[in-house]
């Protein structure tokens, strides 16, 4: 493995993502500010103003136009990035589907923040979960180091799969927390990413094409089917991008998931993002002090959904707690729980699954949340049946 | 660079047009507008098109009527989309990925719904940011693609499916807003109103717009046969009457100044423009309403003349 030079820096999540964007030096960035992602746009504008990048920065008048301009720029063959959160992502919603269906590898840094109402600027995953079926690859990161690296590997993944990618951090928990991390040299990042090779290009005026035509009953389904197949194929591209990243930089990232002390676990917790750090500590305590067979699985890539990988690592678990930082408002709990239940349903051996919704609107996620979750699973293991499919953790009921 | 079309014969020879077989209605004038725009220049063009009749009728897969690069994103974002394309062009040129001498021009086409209403914000943003593009509004004064609903371009008393003439209410009750004024408030590099009947004026305006350094805008009247409900052979005639009645003044704006390009010597009363259109059928026997429309036309015309006088256009 060719280990590249790294430099130790102290950066917040937003600074690390903006720094990665500087190193990537995209052709076009079109973005609009929103807490807690604002700094990414601000810092990047400063890189532009200082001539540290030669990106064309488009300071749009809304997130809807941000994503619309990203679509135009990406269809013109450019390497394109943006960043947003919450209401901004919701405002982009219409165009997210167009970006993916046009097979445009836009990379977007999303800082997870809840959706109004009530208005609140703090973390939960309702924003990105709301765009889970928009055809984007979704990468949830646990810490600032991973957010930095995932931004870089996100671009590689997007351009291999010709699909857009969102890389997320938990609002404030990561976006505004300083961590020391290892960063690469600009040159190495640029060499690793190389040039984008677009599928098509509306600036190729010698070969005119029509992009985004009306597509009716006689062709639409075939075209949609092609896009769906691209999501199936994205798994291979995701593995390839991460393998190439590891080979180039000598640093391994977990790909779809990070199992933690899961091998012989009877009880397991699934969780996304920064809460996994707290969860791992609880797992350590329960294992090392109480001798409980507990483990954790941090799901890093939620789209495409890694059902085969999950079947392999979760099939033997007896009691599975799926912790969602979002509620589907469908009386069954969170979206991750629902999808994991679907993924494991056909296994002859499969866990009893219960959905837990936690940390909404930035509610602090202390270790007690995880202990409570495990206790509830023990209560279920003792033969009790919860009257609902979901339990809410850390809320005054 | 630009082709010069002086005579109708020159015009007929111009090749860059929508391919035959597109699905625009009989008599729809926007294929004429597109041809005039594309033929006005030899520059390679990239076109962004808002959702609407033009997009729908010219591209049904697996066909396309467009001889140039064309992109449709959504309804309200043609201006944002073209600004992204233009930003990519600038960046790729700067980075040497596009040859420095390769000149491409960027044009967005939007209907009045996609421009006055749902797309106004995106257009305003793109104008303010100063992208180099030409926005052509083909103005059929309603949401025609979805079946003739009112827009804020729909004129007062016109009947549409969402401002129907009823027993109590005589069609739309509001004046249309002056989009060209709103655009001019952005101080673009160039703005104009045009009409396909005055084709050489339209071509000249497109050429000026494309040569201008910065965003430009042309509001082109584009009657809708089913929407305005008139015999299909009258489309171009109506775009002429619109100008001769002062309903649709031909003017341009540049460097902070106005120029009215055509002042009818004997303006025709507005009733002649309204009469063939069945969207006005319910007011044809209400002279007080027609007089009200006439008065508003005079007010706007006088205002335009005063602007021209106070701030004459200097090239
Ligand atoms: C966000 C959104 N809202 C509504 C529509 C439905 N829609 C499609 S075209 C259209 C009207 C277009 O009107 P206009 O811009 O005037 O163009 P025209 O059809 O008259 O050419 C509407 C309402 C849409 N496609 N997208």
Q: Quick one: pLDDT at residue A283?
A: 98
* Contact in structure between A242 and B103 (CB atoms under 8 Å): no
Residue bearing the CA closest to ligand 1, atom 26? B75
> Residue A161 contacts by C-beta under 8 Å, 6 or more apart in sequence?
A105, A137, A230, A233, A234, A237, A238
Q: Are residues A146 and A264 in the same domain?
A: no
- Residue-number span of the structural domain to which A294 is assigned: 257-393
Cα–Cα distance, B138 to B125 (Å, whole number):
20
Facing B95 at nearest CB: one of A54, A75, A213:
A54
Cα(B224) to centroid of ligand 1, in Å? 15
Strand partners, B70: A210, B47
Q: Are residues A182 and A263 in the same domain?
A: no
B33 lines ligand 1 (CB under 6 A): no
| CA–CA min distance B49, chain A (Å) | 10
* Contact in structure between B126 and A58 (CB atoms under 8 Å): no
Mean pLDDT of B23-51: 96
Nearest CA-CA partner of A7 in A188, A258, A273, A211: A188
A232, part of any domain? yes
| CA–CA min distance B16, chain A (Å) | 13
A377, part of any domain? yes
Instruction: Give the residue from B45, B80, B103 with the most A CB atoms within 10 Å of its CB, the best one to mutate.
Output: B80
Q: Quick one: pLDDT at residue B11?
A: 82
Q: Which of A185, A215, A249 is the last residue of a domain?
A: A249
Q: Which of A188, A221, A249 is the last residue of a domain?
A: A249
Confidence class for position B5, pLDDT limits 50, 70, 90: low
Q: Quick one: pLDDT at residue A1?
A: 47
> Residue B288 contacts by C-beta under 8 Å, 6 or more apart in sequence?
none
Q: Are residues A280 and A229 in the same domain?
A: no
Cα–Cα distance, A354 to A333 (Å, whole number):
9
Residue bearing the CA closest to ligand 1, atom 25? B75
Q: Which of A225, A249, A273 is the last residue of a domain?
A: A249
Q: Quick one: pLDDT at residue B6?
A: 74
Mean pLDDT of B259-276: 98
Q: Are residues A204 and A232 in the same domain?
A: yes
Cα–Cα distance, A32 to A24 (Å, whole number):
19
Test site for ligand 1: of B28, B57, B74, B75, most ligand atoms within 8 A of the Cβ: B75
Pairing type for strands B216-221 and A352-358 reads: unpaired
* Contact in structure between B16 and B39 (CB atoms under 8 Å): yes
Q: Is the dihedral of CA B163, B169, B174, B175 positive or negative?
A: positive
Facing A69 at nearest CB: one of B68, B87, B128:
B87
Q: Are residues A227 and A309 in the same domain?
A: no
> Residue B275 contacts by C-beta under 8 Å, 6 or more apart in sequence?
B284
Q: Are residues A348 and A314 in the same domain?
A: yes
* Contact in structure between B297 and B241 (CB atoms under 8 Å): no
A1, part of any domain? no
* Contact in structure between A391 and A356 (CB atoms under 8 Å): yes
Q: Are residues A77 and A106 in the same domain?
A: yes
Residue bearing the CA closest to ligand 1, atom 1? B75
The CATH code of the domain that includes A285 is: 3.40.50.920
Burial class of A168 by CB neighbour count within 10 A (0 to 12, 13 to 18, 19+): buried
Query: Number of structural domains, chain A?
Result: 2
* Contact in structure between A157 and A166 (CB atoms under 8 Å): no
> Residue A123 contacts by C-beta under 8 Å, 6 or more apart in sequence?
A36, A112, A113, A114, A170, A171, A172, A173, A325, A359, A362
B139 lines ligand 1 (CB under 6 A): no
Within 8 A of B68 by CB-CB distance, chain A residues are 205, 208
Cα(A239) to centroid of ligand 1, in Å? 41
Cα(B144) to centroid of ligand 1, in Å? 8
Cβ of residue A30 closer than 8 Å to a chain B Cβ: yes
According to CATH, the topology of domain B8-310 is: Rossmann fold (3.40.50)
* Contact in structure between B124 and B95 (CB atoms under 8 Å): no
Cα–Cα distance, A286 to B40 (Å, whole number):
76
Nearest CA-CA partner of B221 in B190, B189, B258, B179: B179
E strands present in chain A:
6-12, 28-30, 56-58, 80-84, 107-112, 137-140, 165-170, 178-184, 210-211, 257-260, 267-271, 294-299, 301-303, 319-324, 352-358, 390-393
Within 8 A of A205 by CB-CB distance, chain B residues are 44-46, 68-69, 104
ipTM of predicted complex: 0.97
Q: Are residues A13 and A150 in the same domain?
A: yes
Tokens 């043609």 sit at which residue? B78
* Contact in structure between B133 and B107 (CB atoms under 8 Å): yes
Pairing type for strands B190-194 and A28-30 reads: unpaired
Mean pLDDT of B237-262: 98
B112 lines ligand 1 (CB under 6 A): yes
Q: Are residues A183 and A208 in the same domain?
A: yes
A307, part of any domain? yes
Cα–Cα distance, A286 to A112 (Å, whole number):
29
Enter the tokens of residue A303: 């789209």
Q: Are residues A233 and A367 in the same domain?
A: no
Chain A nearest-CA residue for B95: A54
Is residue B270's pLDDT more than 50?
yes
Q: Are residues A229 and A282 in the same domain?
A: no
Confidence class for position B10, pLDDT limits 50, 70, 90: confident
Q: Find out whether the peptide bond into B62 is cis, omega within 30 degrees of 0.
A: yes
Q: Are residues A321 and A221 in the same domain?
A: no
Cα(B311) to centroid of ligand 1, in Å? 36
* Contact in structure between B20 and B59 (CB atoms under 8 Å): no
Cβ of residue A204 closer than 8 Å to a chain B Cβ: yes
* DSSP structure string for chain B: ------SHHHHHH---SPPTT--PPTT-SHHHHHHHHHHT--S-EEEEE-TTHHHHHH--TT----SSEEEE--SS-HHHHHHHHHHHHHHHHHTTSS-TT---EEEEEEEHIIIIITTHHHHHHHHHHT-S-EEEEEE-SSBTTTTSB--TTSPTT---SSS-B-SS-BS--SPPP-HHHHHHTT--SEEEEE-TTSHHHHHHHHHHHHHSSS-EEEEEE---IIIII--GGGHHHHHHHHHHTTSS--EEEETTEEEE----SSPPPTHHHHTT-GGGGGGTT-HHHHHHHHHHHHHHHHHHHHHHHHSB---
Q: Quick one: pLDDT at residue B9?
A: 86
Strand partners, A257: A299
A268-298 CB burial, b ≥16 within 10 A, e <16: bbbbbbbbbebbbebbeebeeeeebbbbbbb
Cα–Cα distance, A54 to A28 (Å, whole number):
9
Facing A60 at nearest CB: one of B67, B71, B80:
B80
Cβ of residue A196 closer than 8 Å to a chain B Cβ: no
- Other C-beta atoms closer than 10 Å to the C-beta of A218 total 10
Mean pLDDT by 10 residues, chain A (397 residues): 86 98 98 98 98 98 98 98 98 98 98 98 98 98 98 98 98 98 98 98 97 98 98 98 97 97 97 98 98 98 98 97 98 98 96 98 98 98 98 97
Inspect the interface and report whether the beta carbons of B104 and A205 lie closer than 8 Å: yes
Nearest CA-CA partner of A15 in A83, A113, A105: A83
Confidence class for position B13, pLDDT limits 50, 70, 90: confident
B49 lines ligand 1 (CB under 6 A): no
Cα–Cα distance, A238 to A154 (Å, whole number):
9
Is residue B2's pLDDT more than 70?
no
Q: Model pTM?
A: 0.98
CA distances from B292 to B157, B180, B268, B298, B306 (A): 10, 22, 16, 10, 21
The CATH code of the domain that includes A34 is: 3.40.50.970
Cα(B120) to centroid of ligand 1, in Å? 13
* DSSP structure string for B171-215: S--SPPP-HHHHHHTT--SEEEEE-TTSHHHHHHHHHHHHHSSS-
DSSP 3-state assignment of A101? helix
How far from each other are the two terminal CA atoms of chain A, in whole angstroms? 53
Backbone φ and ψ for B267, nearest 5 degrees, come out as -60, 140
Among left, alpha and beta (phi > 0; psi -120 to 50; other), residue B153 is: alpha
Tokens 């992502």 sit at which residue? A89
Nearest CA-CA partner of A36 in A127, A163, A158, A164: A127
Facing B64 at nearest CB: one of A58, A75, A210:
A210
Mean pLDDT of B77-81: 98
């Amino acid at each position: 493995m060719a280990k590249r030079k790294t430099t130790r820096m102290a950066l917040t999540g937003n600074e690390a993502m903006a720094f990665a964007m500087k190193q990537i030096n995209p052709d076009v960035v079109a973005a609009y500010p929103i807490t807690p992602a604002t700094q990414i746009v601000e810092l990047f504008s400063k890189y532009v103003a200082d001539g540290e990048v030669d990106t064309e920065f488009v300071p749009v008048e809304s997130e809807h136009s941000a994503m619309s301009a990203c679509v135009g720029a990406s269809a013109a063959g450019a390497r394109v990035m943006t960043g947003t959160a919450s209401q901004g992502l919701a405002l982009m919603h219409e165009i997210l589907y167009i970006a993916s269906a046009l097979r445009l590898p836009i990379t977007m840094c999303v800082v997870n923040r809840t959706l109004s109402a009530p208005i609140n600027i703090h973390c939960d995953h309702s924003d990105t979960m709301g765009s889970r079926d928009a055809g984007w690859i979704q990468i949830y990161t646990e810490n600032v180091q991973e957010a930095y690296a995932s931004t870089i590997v996100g671009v590689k993944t997007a351009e291999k799969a010709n699909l857009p990618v969102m890389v997320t951090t938990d609002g404030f928990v990561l976006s505004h927390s300083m961590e020391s991390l290892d960063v690469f040299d600009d040159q190495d990042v640029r060499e690793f990413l190389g040039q984008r090779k677009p599928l098509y290009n509306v600036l190729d005026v010698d070969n005119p094409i029509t992009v985004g035509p009306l597509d009716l009953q006689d062709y639409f389904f075939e075209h949609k089917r092609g896009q769906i197949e691209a999501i199936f194929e994205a798994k291979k591209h995701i593995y390839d991008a991460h393998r190439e990243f590891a080979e180039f930089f000598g640093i391994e990232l977990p790909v779809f998931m990070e199992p933690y002390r899961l091998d012989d676990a009877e009880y397991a917790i699934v969780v996304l993002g920064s809460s996994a750090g707290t969860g791992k500590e609880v797992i350590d305590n329960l294992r090392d002090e109480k001798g409980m067979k507990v483990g954790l699985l941090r799901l890093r890539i939620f789209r495409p959904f890694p059902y085969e990988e999950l079947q392999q690592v979760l099939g033997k678990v007896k009691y599975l707690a799926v912790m969602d930082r979002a509620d589907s408002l469908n009386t069954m709990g969170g979206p991750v729980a629902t999808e994991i239940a679907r993924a494991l349903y056909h296994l002859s051996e499969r866990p009893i699954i219960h959905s837990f919704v936690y940390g909404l609107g930035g509610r602090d996620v202390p270790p007690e949340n995880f202990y409570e979750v495990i206790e509830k699973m023990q209560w279920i293991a003792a033969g009790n049946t919860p009257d609902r499919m979901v339990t809410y953790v850390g809320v005054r009921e | 660079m630009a082709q010069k079309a002086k005579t109708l014969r020159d015009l007929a020879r111009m090749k860059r047009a929508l391919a035959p077989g597109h699905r625009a209605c009989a008599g729809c004038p926007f294929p004429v507008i597109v041809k005039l725009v594309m033929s006005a220049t030899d520059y390679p063009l990239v076109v962004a098109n808002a959702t609407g009749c033009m997009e729908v009728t010219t591209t049904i897969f697996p066909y396309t009527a467009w001889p140039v690069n064309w992109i449709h994103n959504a309804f309200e974002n043609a201006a944002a989309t073209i600004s992204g394309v233009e930003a990519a062009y600038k960046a790729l040129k700067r980075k040497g990925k596009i040859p420095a001498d390769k000149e491409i021009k960027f044009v967005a086409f939007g209907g009045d719904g996609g421009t006055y209403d749902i797309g106004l914000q995106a257009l305003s943003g793109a104008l303010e940011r100063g992208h180099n593009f030409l926005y052509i509004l083909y103005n059929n004064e309603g949401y025609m693609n979805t079946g003739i609903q009112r827009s804020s371009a729909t004129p007062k008393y016109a009947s549409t499916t969402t401002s129907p003439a009823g027993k109590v209410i005589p069609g739309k009750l509001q004046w249309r807003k002056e989009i060209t004024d709103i655009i001019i408030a952005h101080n673009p590099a160039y703005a104009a109103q045009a009409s396909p009947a005055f084709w050489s004026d339209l071509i000249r305006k497109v050429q000026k717009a494309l040569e201008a350094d910065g965003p430009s805008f042309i509001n082109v009247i584009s009657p809708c046969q089913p929407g305005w409900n008139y015999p299909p052979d009258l489309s171009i005639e109506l775009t002429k009457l619109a100008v001769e009645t002062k309903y649709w003044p031909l003017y341009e704006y540049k460097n902070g100044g106005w120029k009215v390009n055509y002042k009818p010597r004997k303006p025709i009363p507005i009733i002649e423009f309204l009469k063939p259109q069945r969207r006005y059928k319910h007011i044809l026997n209400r002279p007080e309403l027609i007089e009200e429309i006439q008065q508003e036309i005079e007010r706007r015309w006088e205002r335009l003349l005063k602007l021209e006088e106070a701030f004459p256009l200097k090239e």
